């Protein structure tokens, strides 16, 4: 646990008692604060009471009297589409609002570091797509290299639940826009921006607000190294804004679409080969084509970002390559779950938006595509470059018919349920086909999470193949 510093003897309110809220409450208590907690869910409040925390209704008048700060879980809106009423009350009372990420960065360092040869470092990863895979890949490579490393944030453990790192330890954090948007402290040693595409637009009042939330990771604390994906205009802008000149190697540019030139530091892929360039010269190269855990150009982009981060931490290219080779990938992210009779079955349930689904469609050929769900803003037009790879779409979700109508030129079956979609796709699949779940939509019309949706796909495939 990372005890929260700066609140010894002070009362700190915590709103939201899921994993994040309970973790923050424990860490506040460990640091000497007095947490008072609230959640609209009675079961969550009961769990907190069982742990001995004081439950205080933060909706009542005067609830913020003598409260030093309010700590908010990431799913609770604090500005758009409108502030939660508890957060609005804290604003009115002049009580600062923060989250567990802000508490972590304020409390991470401690006096023991004075005796370390190498201070612990934090690598923080954000972006629209690929941040989970990039984070897990960095963590895996560092583990293979024998480093003291922990994975936390939006993946792995809660940031305040991790162990205090030892000499030379590394903490790898995946951070969503919900987390970067509100944290009052953001001071990673290395910050990674994978890519950018529209998402969570309601929460951020449009694409500008969404980008601003991501940008805070780089603008608030000023990381020692910034690794920036430059395949979108937002990345190009941010790299240019952070750099002091062409030879400024504090900014490392990453691309999965083109060779990067110039005297600076860059990592890119072309035709499945990763290349590192510094001062206009190639330093190293890795063949990514046969690494099963990193299929497709989108995973090659993740590999470039992870490679750059590991190089910043002092790892040799050959050691990084060894880590890549043994990386198995993450569940629900281009996860090969079965191969039978020449047909490959891939679970990419995490492809909850159009951009991530497009990358999945471009990673495979002869696709029997299971898609659909709760469609997000922006429509499906951006999928068009990947549709030539689709032999047939099997559409699920409560609005499957409307979803299918938007897939111009693609033969579609209105299946509605996962059971029906998988059964028909398995029956019709031929040797050389890929049955791919890449929904291009949220799961909440039928499932509690994309994980539940992916698990259902895996279960249905297993039934059909046995």
Cα–Cα–Cα angle for 378, 381, 385, rounded to 5 degrees: 135
Q: Which stretch of DSSP H or E encloses residue 461?
A: helix 450-465
Alpha carbon distances (Å) from 71 to 16, 109, 298, 365, 397? 9, 20, 35, 47, 36
DSSP class of residue 384?
G
- The candidate with the shortest Cα–Cα distance to 373, out of 391, 357, 390, is 357
Is 337 in contact with 405 (CB distance < 8 Å)? no
- β strands within 221-366, DSSP E: 225-229, 251-255, 265-270, 273-278, 281-287, 335-340, 343-347
149 DSSP β-pair partners = 170
Q: Are 157 and 83 in contact (CB under 8 A)?
A: no
- Known binding residue 131? Answer is yes
Q: Would you say 130 is a known binding-site residue? A: yes
344 annotated ligand binder:
no
Distance CA 14, CA 58 (A): 9
Question: Which is nearest to 31 in space by CA: 61, 54, 58, 1?
Answer: 1
Q: Does 449 show up as a binding residue in the annotation? A: no
Kindly list the strands in the beta sheet with 170-174, ordered across the sheet, starting from the edge strand earlier in the chain.
149-153, 170-174, 121-126, 190-193, 225-229, 251-255, 265-270, 273-278, 281-287
**CA pseudo-torsion sign 349, 355, 359, 361:** positive
Token pair 């780089």 is at which residue? 218
Known binding residue 128? Answer is yes
Tell me the helix, strand and coil percentages in the chain, rounded to 5: 35, 20, 40
Q: Tell me how far apart the alpha carbons of residues 230 and 37 are, in angstroms, rounded to a whole number.
A: 42
Tokens of 466: 């046995």
For 52, the 3-state DSSP assignment is coil
CA gap 38, 59 in Å, rounded: 9
Annotated binding-site ranges: 127-133
Annotated binding-site ranges for ATP: 127-133
């Amino acid at each position: 646990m990372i005890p929260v510093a700066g609140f010894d003897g002070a009362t700190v309110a915590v709103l939201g008692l899921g994993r994040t809220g309970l973790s923050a409450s424990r860490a506040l208590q460990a640091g000497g604060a007095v947490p008072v907690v609230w959640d609209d869910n009675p079961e969550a409040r009961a769990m907190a009471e069982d742990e001995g925390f004081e439950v205080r209704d933060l909706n009542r008048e005067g609830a913020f009297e003598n409260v030093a700060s309010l700590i908010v879980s990431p799913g609770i809106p604090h500005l758009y589409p409108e502030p939660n009423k508890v957060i609005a009350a804290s604003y009115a009372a002049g009580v600062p609002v923060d989250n567990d990420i802000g508490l972590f960065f304020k409390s991470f360092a401690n006096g023991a570091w004075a005796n370390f040869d190498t201070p612990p470092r934090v690598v923080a990863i954000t972006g629209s797509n690929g941040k989970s895979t990039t984070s897990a890949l960095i963590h895996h490579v560092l583990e293979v290299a024998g480093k003291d490393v922990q994975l936390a944030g939006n993946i792995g453990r809660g940031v305040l639940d991790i162990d205090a790192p030892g000499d030379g330890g590394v903490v790898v954090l995946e951070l969503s826009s919900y987390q970067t948007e509100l944290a009052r402290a953001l001071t990673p040693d290395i910050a990674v921006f994978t890519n950018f595409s529209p998402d969570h637009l309601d929460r951020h009042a449009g694409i500008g607000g969404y980008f601003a939330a991501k940008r805070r990771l780089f603008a608030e604390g000023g990381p020692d190294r910034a690794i920036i994906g430059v395949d979108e205009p937002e990345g190009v802008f941010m790299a240019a804004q952070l750099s002091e000149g062409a030879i400024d190697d504090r900014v490392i540019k990453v691309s999965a679409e083109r060779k990067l030139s110039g005297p600076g530091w860059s990592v890119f892929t072309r035709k499945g080969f990763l290349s590192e360039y510094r001062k206009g010269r190639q330093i190293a190269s890795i063949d990514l084509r046969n690494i099963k855990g990193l299929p497709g150009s989108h995973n090659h982009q993740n590999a470039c970002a992870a490679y750059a981060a590991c190089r910043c931490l002092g790892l040799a290219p050959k050691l990084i390559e060894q880590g890549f080779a043994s990386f198995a990938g993450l569940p629900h992210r281009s996860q090969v779950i079965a191969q039978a009779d020449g047909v490959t079955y891939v679970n990419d349930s995490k492809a909850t938006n159009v951009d991530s689904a497009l990358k999945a469609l471009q990673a495979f050929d002869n696709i029997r595509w299971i898609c659909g769900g709760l469609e997000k803003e922006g429509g499906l037009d951006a999928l068009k470059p990947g549709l030539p790879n689709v032999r047939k779409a099997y559409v699920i979700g409560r609005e499957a018919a409307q979803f299918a109508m938007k897939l111009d030129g693609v033969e579609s079956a209105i299946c509605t349920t996962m059971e029906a979609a998988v059964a028909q796709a398995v029956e019709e699949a031929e040797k050389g086909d890929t049955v791919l779940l890449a929904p291009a939509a949220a799961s909440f019309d039928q499932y509690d999470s994309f994980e539940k949706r992916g698990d259902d796909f895996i279960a249905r495939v297993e039934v059909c193949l046995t």
